[in-house]
Amino acid sequence: MRSRLPVVLVLPAVVGLAFLLVPLAGLLIKAPWATLPAQLFSQEVGQALQLSLICASLATIVCLVLGVPLAWLLARSDLPGRGVLRALVTVPLVLPPVVGGVALLLVLGRRGVVGQYLDQWFGISLPFTTAGVVLAEAFVAMPFLVISVEGALRAADPRFEEAAATLGASRWLTFRRVTLPSVMPGVVAGTVLCWARALGEFGATITFAGNFPGKTTTMPLAVYLALETDPDAAIVLSIVLLLVSVAVLAGLRDKWISGPS
Amino acid sequence: MTLHAELRVQRASFSLDIDLSIEPGEVVALLGPNGAGKTTALRALAGLVPSDSRIHHNESTWDGLPAEKRPIGVVFQDYLLFAHMSALDNVAFGLRARGTRKAEANAVALQWLDQVGLADFAHVKPRTLSGGQAQRVALARALATAPELLLLDEPLAALDASTRLRVRSELGRHLADYPGHTLLVTHDPLDAMVLADRLVILEHGRVVQEGSPRDVVRQPRTDYVANLVGLNFYRGVADGTEVRLDDGGTLTIAEPADGPVHVVFPPAAVSLYPEKPAGSPRNTWQAVVTGIEPHAHTTRVDLDGSPAVLADITTATVAELRLQPGHALWVSLKATEIHTYPR
C-alpha cells in the first residue's frame, strides 16, 4: 500500500476535473430533449450544419494540398532559415483567430494588398462569401496539419528515400510512392485535427466572412447568434459540435490521447 | 568495360581519398574497421553523398549525376524494403521508376523472385519475411533493373550466424551469375574472403592494401589486416638470416632476406616452456603472460616480451604450465615457421 494521496494535490485536481466536465454535463442537462429531434432537423440547424461540414471539408482539402508539401519542405529540404520558417508557420496556431480574420481582411479585402487586384483583374471578392469562410478556416487550421505531417516526416527514416533514389525514382515519385505512405498515420491525424479545428472556427470566420445565414453562418456562428434569440437551438447546435469533438477524440485516441500506460 | 572511380569525400573530421577499379563480373570487397570510410565510399559511388568523385564507365562519366540517374543497384545493410509494398512491388519498383510498364515490370520482378527462391512470397509484405528472405528480396530488387554496378553494404550483417552461412553461399552464387561490377562493403573478413575476387583494405579513408584474398591472407601489410587473418605481424630490417624488429627483439629466419621487411608467423607455430629450452636452432626469448582466452579449439595466449607475441596452445599445455597472467615463460619459435616479405 502506498501512503494516502496528499490533499494539497487531490483537492485542486478534483476541482479542475469538475471545472472541465461540469459545463459539458450542463449542456446535456439543459438540452431540450423533447424538442431535440425537431430542432435538429430544423432548417436553420440543418443549413448551418451543412455549411459547416462543407466549408470545413473544403478548408481541409486546401490545407492538405498546400500543407503536406509545405511540411515536406520544412522537414526535408536544406532551405536556409528553416527553423524560422517553421516558427512562422505555427504563428496562426497561437494567434487569436480574430486577429487572423483582420489580417485576412487587410490582404484579401476589396482594398487589401492582394484583394484589390483580385477584384480589378478577375472581379473576385472573397470577404463575406462562402469561399471566404473556407479561407478563414484554412488559415487557422493549416498549422495543425503542417506540424503533424512535419513531425511524422522527421521521424520517418530518410534512408528509404535514398533506397528509392538508387532504384531510379525521382523525388516526386519517391514522395508519392515511398514517403507519403510511410507517414500516412501522421497525415491522417493531422487531417482530422485540421478538420476539427476548421469546423469549430469562429473568430477569423466572423471577422473575414461575416455572418450571412446560408452563406457564411457556420455552426459556431449559429450557436452565438441563437444564444440571443433561441437558447434551445444554441444548445442543440452545441451538442452537435460536442459530439463531433468526441468523435474526433475517439478517432485519434491511439495517436494523441493515450500516454504511456 | 572497367569501371574506374576516384572517390574523394571531405568532411570536417574525415576525408576519403581512394581509387577503385572494378572489372565486369568482378566482385571487389571493401574491407576495413568501423569508421574507415567503407560506407562513405559506397555512398559516393551511389551518388548519395556530395563528393568530388570521378567515376568513369564505358566512356561515360557519372560525375555530378544524382543517384536516380546512375545505373546502380544497392543492397542496404538493413535492406530498407518498402514496408507498405508487397515483395513483388518492391522488386518491381526500380523498373516502374525507370518507366517500364506495370505488367512487364511485374513479370520481370516475378522472375527475379523466382531466381532467389521466393516466388511464393510475391504478395507478402516485407515484415512477415525472415531476415534471410528479406535479404534475398533486397538482392532481387537491386538486380531487377540490370544495373552496371551492384553495391552491397554489409549485406549479411543483419543475419544470425546460422542463416548467414546459407545466405552467404546463395549470395555467392548470384554474384557469380551477375555480369556487372560488384562492390561489397564489409567488416567481416570471412564474407570478403568467400565472396570477393579482390580485397581492398581501407583504413582512415585510405587504401592500405589491395590484392587477392590469398595474397592478403599470406602477406598482410598492416596490423589491422594481420589481426583480421590471425597472424603475428612485425616490421623489421633483415640482414641475411637475422631480422631486427622495429619494436624490439631479433628473429632468426630460414630464408635469407635483406632490407625492410614484414615478418609474419601463425600463433600456432609458437611454443611455450617454463624453462629456457636448451640446444636447438630456434628463436627463444622470455615473455610475460598478459592475457589468456579460448580461441576455437585452442587457447590463445597474449605475451608481452621482446617482441610481444600471440601463441595458440592446447588446453593440455595450459593446464601443464598452470598459465596465469603475470607468469614469465620462454617463447620458442622455429625459424622455418617465419615468413618475410619486403615492405
The mean pLDDT value for B39-53 works out to 91
Q: Residue B241: count other Cβ atoms within 10 Å of its Cβ.
A: 13
The answer to whether the Cβ–Cβ distance between B67 and A160 falls below 8 Å is no
* Statement: residue A249 has pLDDT above 80: no
Contact B91, B69 (CB under 8 A): no
The mean pLDDT value for A96-113 works out to 90
Cα torsion B132, B135, B141, B144: sign: negative
* Statement: residue A261 has pLDDT above 50: no
pLDDT confidence bin for A20, thresholds 50/70/90 = very high
Contact A171, B101 (CB under 8 A): no
Per-residue pLDDT, A119 = 84
Contact A153, A179 (CB under 8 A): yes
Q: Which residues of A touch B69 (CB under 8 A)?
A: 168
B181-186 sheet: strands from edge to edge: B72-75, B149-153, B181-186, B27-31, B198-203, B206-211
pLDDT confidence bin for A254, thresholds 50/70/90 = low
Dihedrals phi, psi of B324, to nearest 5 degrees:
-145, 150
The mean pLDDT value for B326-338 works out to 91
By the CB < 8 Å criterion, does A180 face chain B? Answer: no
Contact A63, A187 (CB under 8 A): no
Which amino acid would we find at residue B263? V
pLDDT confidence bin for B24, thresholds 50/70/90 = very high
The answer to whether the Cβ–Cβ distance between B98 and A159 falls below 8 Å is no
Q: What is the pLDDT of residues A219-229, one digit of tens each?
A: 899 888 888 88
Give dist(CA B48, CA A158) in Å, integer. 12
Q: What is the pLDDT of residues A120-178, one digit of tens each?
A: 888 888 888 999 999 999 999 999 999 999 999 999 999 999 999 999 999 999 999 99
Domains and CATH numbers, chain A: 51-252 (1.10.3720.10)
Per-residue pLDDT, A257 = 46
Contacts of B241 (CB under 8 A, 6+ apart): B252, B253, B254, B255, B256, B335
Neighbour-count burial of A78, counting CB atoms closer than 10 A to its CB (0-12 exposed, 13-18 middle, 19+ buried):
exposed
Q: Which residues of A touch B93 (CB under 8 A)?
A: 164, 167, 169, 177
Global confidence as pTM: 0.81
Q: What is the pLDDT of residues A172-181, one digit of tens each?
A: 999 999 999 9
- Going by their DSSP bridges, the two strands B181-186 and B27-31 should be labelled as parallel
Per-residue pLDDT, A241 = 87
Per-residue pLDDT, A258 = 46
Where are the strands (E) in B38-195, listed by range?
54-57, 60-61, 72-75, 149-153, 181-186
The mean pLDDT value for B70-80 works out to 94
Q: Which of B47, B76, B98 is opposite residue A159, by nearest beta carbon?
A: B76
Give residues 53 to 82 of B whose Cβ lies within 8 Å of A: 66-70, 72-74, 76, 80, 82
Q: Which of B48, B84, B98 is opposite residue A182, by nearest beta carbon?
A: B84
Q: What percent of chain B has pLDDT over 90?
A: 72
Of A157, A159, A160, A166, which to mutate for an interface test with B (greatest number of B Cβ within 10 Å)? A166
448551418: which residue's cell?
A: A48
The answer to whether the Cβ–Cβ distance between A182 and B97 falls below 8 Å is no
**Through-space distance between the first and last CA atoms of chain A, rounded to whole angstroms:** 20
Q: Which residues of B touch A164 (CB under 8 A)?
A: 82, 93, 97
A175 DSSP assignment: I
By the CB < 8 Å criterion, does B83 face chain A? Answer: yes
Neighbour-count burial of A26, counting CB atoms closer than 10 A to its CB (0-12 exposed, 13-18 middle, 19+ buried):
exposed
Domains and CATH numbers, chain B: 3-227 (3.40.50.300), 230-342 (2.40.50.100)
